[in-house]
Amino acid sequence: MCEILGMSANVPTDIVFSFTGLIRRGGETGPHRDGWGIAFYEDKGLRLFHDPEESSRSKIAAFLQSYPIRSEIVVSHIRKANRGKVALKNTHPFVRELWGRNWVFAHNGQLKGIKKVKFDSFEPVGTTDSEAAFCWLLGKLRRKFSTPPAQPALIKEIQKLFAELAERGVANILMSDSNLLFTHCSNRLVHITRRAPFGKAQLLDADVTVDFQKATTEKDVVTILATRPLTGNENWIHYKSGEYRVWRDGETVSTNLKA
């Protein structure tokens, strides 16, 4: 299974610490050798990096570790190929434009039959079930809403579409429109929200420790999402099967869990 990494923050924040842990799992501490990618939002703009090489040996990944990019929403992915060959066109996250916004999508799991559906407005470039699912989902959104809908209607519709995808198999998903971070868990997704008072964190996959108190203010809120916990000295919260959460500025703005 692939692994995903996401961030939602209320101030532009770099993700180097978490990214350092993730990329070690791409061929060094984990089997995800089949490419990787990361997307950083800057307002509606998007910085996007893909590489079909294993992330632990990627020169592009090494560059990003030495050149921190600050963003409020980040989506990243390391791949273990099961559907679709190892190729640049099959690396996540995938990107499409809808309603004048760059939408980003990363997924792990398998979705039966999704590549056989009839696509509306959006066509896959590669051969993964993940990209096919993304194209199907955006096509459904465009058909239902000819113009950008109000936020509550958009959140509700995406929840419905994520649930439909989950009926086809495993749908652990991170998706963003540059404004919100939409997330769904079938079986593996965790998160941690860091806020004042900040402390130290130690990566599980690398001998790296950071003291967040030295790089933050008391108003900062940063949520990290991952397939598995990235640190060993913090309390990560596990999503429940079928859980849907929408994040903005590091906080949950919508969830299907009852209070």
Active site residues: 2
Instruction: Evaluate whether 16 touches 24 at the Cβ level (below 8 Å).
Output: no
Q: Which of 114, 167, 109, 116 is nearest to 137 (CA)?
A: 114
Task: Name the burial class of residue 41, with classes exposed (0-12), middle (13-18) and buried (19+) by CB atoms within 10 angstroms of its CB.
Answer: buried
Residue 93 is classified by DSSP as: P
C-alpha triplet 233, 235, 238: angle, nearest 5°: 135
- What token pair was written down for 187? 């079986």
Residue 190 vs residues 6, 27, 225: alpha-carbon distances, Å: 10, 22, 6
Residue 257 is classified by DSSP as: S
Task: Name the burial class of residue 78, with classes exposed (0-12), middle (13-18) and buried (19+) by CB atoms within 10 angstroms of its CB.
Answer: buried
